[in-house]
Amino acid sequence: MMGYARAHGVALRGAVGHLVDVQADVSPGLVGVTLVGRADSVLAEGRDRVRMAIINSDLDWPATKRITVLLSPADLPKGGSHYDLAMALAILAAGGEIEAAGLERTVFIGELALDGGLRPTSGVLPMVLAASHAGIARVVVPEPQVAEARMVPGMEILGFRSLGQVVAELRGEPVPDAPPVATGTGGSLLGWRGDRRLDDMDMSDLRGMPETRYAVEVAAAGGHHLLLKGPKGCGKTSIAERIPTILPDLSREESLEVMAVQSLAGVLDVDRGLLTRPPFSAPHHDASKPGIIGGGSGRVRPGQVSLSHAGVLFLDEFPLFKSDVIECLREPLESGDITVSRGEESVTLPARALVVLAANPCPCGNYDASITKDGCICRPNERQAYDRKVSGPITDRIDIVRTLRPMSEQNHDPWGSETSAEIRDRVTAARRRQRERYADFGWRLNGQASGIALRDHWPLPPAAEALIDSRIFSGALTRRGAVRVHRLAWTVADLAGVDWPGVAETETALALRGGGSLTVSAFEGRSA
């Protein structure tokens, strides 16, 4: 007797899932299990996990038959242990233990233990999202991950503890008891710090720094990357850590994107429910390249640049990061995503974070060219080598540059007592204008807009363009920098409620880009 059946699983390529047909054929022939369809070593080992799980669940394993399992589409790389449940059910259905029709329109996710227990696996949220996008509304997951799976609206989620329970449900029989399974799905990545530590922080804690505070507001409103330079103790870290407090709440779409990445990394806290606040990540400068951009052995895991998607990635003491880490940031700074390749696997992960870099003027942090005795103990060549690490291609991808002075030298700020909530209202209003403007293009913020589209649909007036061209011809601005000034000018206008940026907004954008002093007009539109 020959048998064929199929079940549905999901292949993950980064944070994007693809529906997979797990097809099983049980027929006479050389006894054994053949697995085809570009399976990695972890998935290939699933043949033994599945066989023992079926036997130890008192179900019939077709021991005298040839078993062929195909994961289709065959050209899509597949890896991980989350296919175990789908493979087991497809084999059981092909062997006549359960009805094959009961597997239709359902996605099965879970790793099997040798005793038949159903264990959690990372990446459940993006897998359920993939099922939803494919039009399948029923998903079976390990019991501890039901809450995570139910974050996707409109889905019927069934949670079980064992293979035996799933089979009983499919047969329409009473579901037997089973012991609870372990809930661990892996530890967090180096440097991950959620937003809880920011709960008590507020912009009203800070005094002075009027130009820097305005620059931070522009960065938050338009999603512009920011470089803060200055001697130690001048407030770089303090203001950077408060940037998430002036960002609007996440939309549902953004929340699911962030949580999908956290699910892949194994750091998702389902007890907190749907995320509402933007994430904040501040890895130590000794973090490795895989820790920052993603990677690792086996399946690619997200790095800090993806874990802070839709939030803030703060790289303090940026020149102390390893050179390969600094150089690998070019892609996310420019495109908003990161592609990581490991062997035959190449995945693209979201990385549209607001990147904030902080740097001292020298290794010891005391150098100040404006005074004679500054307490610096660094040699000139050390200062030059240190400064070179934050110049060139990386800084050309940074939209805003601000040099901070020691706190005792900073000017009085008439808005110094503003709370984060007051600033957040202006940022939210500016972002709303951007969403409406780019509704037909798919961008959310000015910092994401294409330079070509800006030039074609939202050009600057001729006088403003001439101002930018003069900087290009003098060598003070690159073509890439000109695009970023264009974006900044629109954000300055959005914050001020101006319908179209002109010369004043462009001058402010150039000052923000080049680190120059801001005029009083840059602060117009802010309520004292």
Quote the Cα angle for 379-228-313, to 5°: 115
Which string of b and e fits 144-165 if b means at least 16 CB within 10 Å? bbbebbbbbeebebbbbbbbbb
pLDDT of residue 1: 44
pLDDT of residue 371: 62
Q: Are strands 16-27 and 32-36 parallel, antiparallel or unpaired?
A: unpaired
- Tell me the per-residue pLDDT of 232-242, one tens digit each, with 9 for 90 and over: 888 899 999 99
Domain coordinates of the chain in residue numbers? 4-171, 197-407
- Tell me the per-residue pLDDT of 343-387, one tens digit each, with 9 for 90 and over: 666 778 888 999 999 998 888 887 776 665 567 888 888 888 888
Task: Tell me the residue type at 11.
Answer: A
pLDDT of residue 53: 95
pLDDT of residue 279: 93
Three-state secondary-structure class, residue 303: coil
pLDDT of residue 369: 65
pLDDT of residue 137: 92
Instruction: Indicate the fold that domain 197-407 takes in CATH.
Output: Rossmann fold (3.40.50)
Q: Are residues 115 and 56 in contact, defined by beta-carbon separation less than 8 angstroms? A: yes
pLDDT of residue 329: 87
Give the C-alpha separation, 324 to 264, whole Å.
24
- Tell me the per-residue pLDDT of 42-90, one tens digit each, with 9 for 90 and over: 888 889 999 999 999 999 998 888 999 999 998 888 888 899 999 999 9
Please determine whether the domains at 4-171 and 197-407 fall in the same fold group of CATH.
no
CATH of 4-171, one of 3.20.20.70, 3.30.450.90, 3.30.230.10, 3.50.50.60: 3.30.230.10
Those residues whose C-beta lies under 8 Å from the C-beta of residue 35, and which sit 6 or more positions away, are 43, 44, 46, 47, 69, 71
Long-range Cβ contacts of 447-456 (<8 Å, 24+ apart): 447/222, 447/223, 447/224, 447/225, 447/399, 447/487, 447/491, 448/223, 448/336, 448/352, 449/487, 449/490, 451/483, 451/486, 454/483, 454/486, 454/487, 454/490, 455/486
CA dihedral of 447, 453, 458, 461, whole degrees rounded to 10:
100
User: Max CA-CA distance within the chain?
Assistant: 93
Q: What is the pLDDT along the chain (528 residues), one digit of tens a residue?
A: 458 999 999 998 877 889 999 999 999 888 888 899 888 888 888 899 999 999 999 999 988 889 999 999 988 888 888 999 999 999 999 999 999 998 999 999 999 999 999 999 988 999 999 999 999 999 999 999 999 999 999 999 999 999 999 999 999 999 999 888 766 544 433 334 444 566 778 998 887 788 899 999 999 999 999 999 888 888 899 999 999 999 999 998 899 889 989 888 888 888 788 888 999 999 999 998 888 988 766 667 889 999 999 999 999 999 889 888 888 888 888 888 888 876 666 778 888 999 999 998 888 887 776 665 567 888 888 888 888 877 677 888 899 999 887 655 455 555 556 899 999 999 999 999 999 999 999 899 999 999 999 999 999 999 999 999 999 999 889 898 999 999 999 999 999 999 999 999 999 999 999 877 776 555 555 543
Nearest residue to 427 via CA among 256, 241, 214, 205: 214
Q: Are residues 10 and 127 in contact, defined by beta-carbon separation less than 8 angstroms? A: yes
Give the C-alpha separation, 48 to 113, whole Å.
10
- The reported pTM is 0.82
Q: How many CB atoms lie within 10 A of CB 392?
A: 10
Q: What is the DSSP string of 266-299?
A: T---GGG-S--SPPEE---TT--HHHHHEE-SSS
Q: What is the DSSP string of 99-157?
A: -GGGGTT-EE--EEPTTSBEE--TTHHHHHHHHHHTT--EEEEEGGGHHHHTTSTT-EE
